[in-house]
Amino acid sequence: MFAVWVRFEPVLMKGLYKFITLTQGAESYHPRILNDFMNSMRRYYGHVIAFWTVEVQEKRALRTGDRVLHWHIMLFFPDLRQSDFGRMDVFRIQSYWKYGDDRNSADIVPVYKPRLDYLLKYVTKALGG
C-alpha cells in the first residue's frame, strides 16, 4: 500500500493550467507516444511543465477486449494566462495527438484551482492502491 501526499503551491507558480486526457485508438505503450505530443507542445508554447500518468480503460477492455490507454496530464504554461488561451489553442493541441481517433481522443479542460488530487487518484490506481 502506498500513501501519496503532495503540497502544491499555486501562488508560487503563476501561469495557465490545463488538464488533458488523451485516449489512444489502440493500446501501444511506448514512451515516444507522449514524447511526440510534448515535443509538439514545447515547439509551439515554449516552456511547458507536465505531470502525467497512464491507465488502461478496464471497463472497455472487459466489454470489447480492446485494452486502450488513457493518458492523464496536468499541464502548466508559465508564460500564459487564461485570456491568452483560445479556441485555436484547443484545436492545435488536439491536432498534436496522433494516436487516437478523430472523435474524442484529446479532451482539454481548464484548471481554475490547481489541485493534483484528481490526477493522483490515477497514480495511486497504477500503484495498485
Per-residue pLDDT of the chain (129 residues; tens, 9 = 90+): 344 444 444 444 678 888 898 888 776 666 678 888 999 999 999 989 888 888 877 777 777 777 777 888 888 898 888 778 899 999 999 999 988 765 568 888 877 766 666 666 666 666 665
**Which one-letter amino acid corresponds to residue 79?**
D
Name the pTM for this structure. 0.73
Question: Which CATH number, 3.30.390, 3.40.50, 1.10.287, 3.30.70, labels domain 16-115?
Answer: 3.30.70
**Which one-letter amino acid corresponds to residue 5?**
W
Cell of 87: 479556441
Domain residue extents for the chain: 16-115
- Sequence-distant (≥ 6) Cβ neighbours of residue 10 within 8 angstroms: 17, 113, 114
Q: What is the SS3 assignment for 63?
A: helix
Dist. CA 106–CA 100, nearest whole Å = 8
